[in-house]
Amino acid sequence: LDSESLKNQKLKAKYLEHKTRYQLLLQKANGDYQRMYREKWEYYGGKADAKVYVAKPFDLKVLKNDLQMYINSDDDIIEVEKKIVYYEAIVEFIDGVIKSIDNRGWDIRNAQDWKKFLAGGY
């Protein structure tokens, strides 16, 4: 139990490193989403560069009220949203692991106290 309690700081550092990496990936994905959202808003709103429409024609006239529906159902937007949800889930999971590591010290101490009690140390 005593050697396990010494591992807590190494474990916590490991998961804090993972958390930092995934938080940065999440931040990048959020930035990608914002940039792509603007591009799709221009595309579906008819405001994109003519070169864009040559590469990917779009002949519909979308009303301002319908713009959200077109953007939110775009495959590229959906893919970036999936990434964001994935990274959020990972960060949330890592937060739970870190909390568990923090509580691990208490669990180990309680186990040590129990062993002392059983040995008649109290």
What is the pLDDT at residue 122? 58
Give the list of residues 6+ apart from residue 42 with CB closer than 8 angstroms, or none.
48, 52
pLDDT recorded at residue 110:
74
In tens digits, what is the pLDDT along the chain, a chain of 122 residues? 566 766 777 899 999 999 999 999 999 999 999 999 999 999 999 999 999 999 999 989 999 999 999 999 999 999 999 999 999 999 999 999 999 888 877 777 777 777 778 788 65
- Contacts of 1 by beta carbon, 8 Å cutoff, 6+ apart: 108, 111, 112, 115
Give the single-character DSSP code of 1.
-
